Structure 1
Amino acid sequence: MNRLQLSFACWDYDRMRALQDGRVRPEGADLNFLSLPVEETFYRQLRHREFDVSEMSLSSYLLTLDSDEPPFVALPVFPSRFFRHQSIYVTGDIREPADLVGKRVGTPEYQMTAGVWQRGILAEEHGVPVDSVRYFTGGIEESGRHEKIGLNLPDSISVTPIEDGKTLSAMLADGELDAIYSASQPSCFGRAPQVRHLFEDFTAVEKDYYRRTRIFPIMHTVVLRRELHERHPWLARSLTKACTESLRLAYEDLTHRNALKVMLPWLQQHLAETLDALGPGYWDYGLEKNRHVLETFARYSYEQGLASRVRAAEEIVLASASDEFRL
């Protein structure tokens, strides 16, 4: 059988490196691995469907499922996870989450995955309803950023694009915004003394959040163009198995001690702390292990006026592709 030739756009993650360098090959397919920044990948895939397989924002992907003809299917593979308490930045008199009520909050895109998690967590755990702040969207460091997907929000949610030529980072530093919910760290942090983390001891807050919820927030998934899935129904499982093997090798690399593969001199201590807080297999793929994470996110998306309805995990990622075993 001739092997399929597939383009795969994804960032250069350690958990994807074995696919990138060819140590792991999917059964029946060869990958042309394109190491691209995530925002470029998302834009090109959402607007132009340029890649056979790609990394994709979980939020953007979920919104594509509301299309009459959804263009992608998602694998139970999650190359990016991130606790997002640490990337809420504030200024002025904001000392605790409740102080955000009534304030002006910048966010690059209302629909971006990080923001959905942040708004959901603040609403559910800290008494900051989603519609209790005013949102302003635009680039953190460069002007001109717009939503990748059109929104149809309820009137109770206020979202306003910032003026051309302005950036969220500068607006926070100048006091035009009270907070930023972001994925990246704004450049004003560390330069403008009044700009700080909402959760100063965010590591302790995030560990406690995981202990109570067992949620390590999923940011991105891997999508396959739907027409490819329909023509080659075996492909999704083949790709998932390959991604899972690449993840296993990345886990293994973290345990090497004769020579460090990662430029962290106290890697052993950091890994031990991570395992103590999150347990083994903390990045594992698969549907069942991540069901509660996916369904919590789907609920947040609906509650925030984004998704048209709450979807079960089986409607978000392909159950048939899942490899349910612990690495």
Structure 2
Amino acid sequence: MAVRLRTLLGDHKCTAALKSGAIKSDIVAFDFVDYSPTNKGFKPMVRDGAFDVSEMAIVTYLMAKSFDKPMVLLPHVVLARFQHSYALYNAKQGNLKPADLNGRRVGIRSFTTTTGAWLRGILANDYGVDLNSIDWVTFEDAHVAEFKDLTKRAPAGKNIVQMLLDGELDAVIGEKSNQAGLKPLFSDAEKEEKAWFAKHGIVPINHMVVVSQKLASTNPQIVREVFRLLKESAAVAQNASPQFTPDEMRRSLQLIIQCSVQQGLVPRAYAVDELFDDLTPTLI
């Protein structure tokens, strides 16, 4: 009889075959839970161990690791993308450029989002922005309850894009919008992304997959089967999120670790090998 696993996976091209049942296993069955957006499920996974298998934002995982949360990271990416297009400003501010953000009011859903960490790294390291000078306004707690968030919280009931439109924020990161009056912070995001890729040679990782420590410890064969199914589902997808070679994954992880340390999200720079456990070499 197949082992049934309570599973959180978003609707990505690389997960479609698995979620539709087109790819099956004799020893594993998935009970998919529905969270929309998927990131709403990260908090119950981190705080309560709600799932056996879960998509997970990489910065949330790094933070969870720093507090010894019982999760095991699998070397599998389900979402990766360039980040420059996820930043907006209010055109009433004039022509605002990334380097103009010093001292401004900038909104972000949560200070600990992975897109936010990537973008702050880009702003600090490629545009010389002093992140500590920014008046950060947030709307949600961190997924990891133990993290001490020192940012300013938006008033209850406020919407991040509406606050930007109303002039209560100068810019936001981690958001896209076609609202009149809003402009992209990076005026030619595609050009900026190409230049960033030419410099770093990586695609920023957003989401990977974790399993519970209990599952990894008690049934490694099942974890190996989960990993095989994830890879098979990604292999049949058309135009799926990039499937990383081990070296590409390592370099992307190294950079987001550096950004996370720089921004005070984790206490130290983990070596990439520390992110995985002894099961990992048997997966690849």
After TM superposition, the score normalised by the length of structure 1 is 0.79
| 1:173-207 Cα shifts (integer Å, max 9, x gaps) | 1111111011x424xx423x2x2101121111112
In the alignment, does 2:137 pair up with 1:146? Answer: no
2:62 is matched with 62
Structure 2 counterpart of 1:221, one-letter code: M
Aligned residues: 278
1:268 is matched with none
In the alignment, does 2:179 pair up with 1:190? Answer: yes
Gap change, CA 1:314 and 1:77, over 3 Å in 2: same
Q: Note if contact 2:261-2:267 (Cα within 8 Å) is conserved in structure 1.
A: yes
Residue segments in structure 2 that go unaligned for 5+ positions in a row: none
Name the % identity: 28
Gap change, CA 1:286 and 1:73, over 3 Å in 2: farther
Which consecutive segments of 4 or more residues in structure 1 shift more than 4 A? none
1:264 is matched with none
Residue segments in structure 1 that go unaligned for 5+ positions in a row: 139-144, 255-280
Q: Note if contact 1:74-1:224 (Cα within 8 Å) is conserved in structure 2.
A: yes
| 1:146-168 Cα shifts (integer Å, max 9, x gaps) | 33224236xxxx61101123222
Task: For 1:36 and 1:166, locate their aligned partners in 2 and report how far apart those are by CA, in whole Å.
Answer: 22
Task: For 2:153 and 2:64, locate their aligned partners in 1 and report how far apart those are by CA, in whole Å.
Answer: 22
Equivalent position SS for 2:96: coil
Structure 1 counterpart of 2:258, one-letter code: R
1:114 is matched with 115
2:256 is matched with 297
Q: How does 1:1-327 map to 2 (within 5 A)?
A: 2-26=1-25, 28-37=27-36, 38-67=38-67, 69-91=68-90, 92-138=93-139, 145-150=140-145, 151-152=147-148, 159-182=151-174, 184-186=175-177, 189-191=178-180, 193=181, 195-250=182-237, 253-254=238-239, 283-285=242-244, 287-318=246-277, 319-323=280-284
The alpha carbon displacement at 1:81 in A equals 1.2
| 1:216-266 Cα shifts (integer Å, max 9, x gaps) | 11111111000110111233332222111111100xx35xxxxxxxxxxxx
Structure 2 counterpart of 1:301, one-letter code: S
The alpha carbon displacement at 1:285 in A equals 4.0
The alpha carbon displacement at 1:307 in A equals 0.6
1:271 is matched with none
Gap change, CA 1:163 and 1:24, over 3 Å in 2: same
Q: Note if contact 1:87-1:185 (Cα within 8 Å) is conserved in structure 2.
A: yes
After TM superposition, the score normalised by the length of structure 2 is 0.90
CA-based RMSD of the aligned residues comes to 2.0
Higher relative contact order (CA 8 A, sep 6+): 2
Q: Note if contact 2:78-2:241 (Cα within 8 Å) is conserved in structure 1.
A: no
Equivalent position SS for 2:69: coil
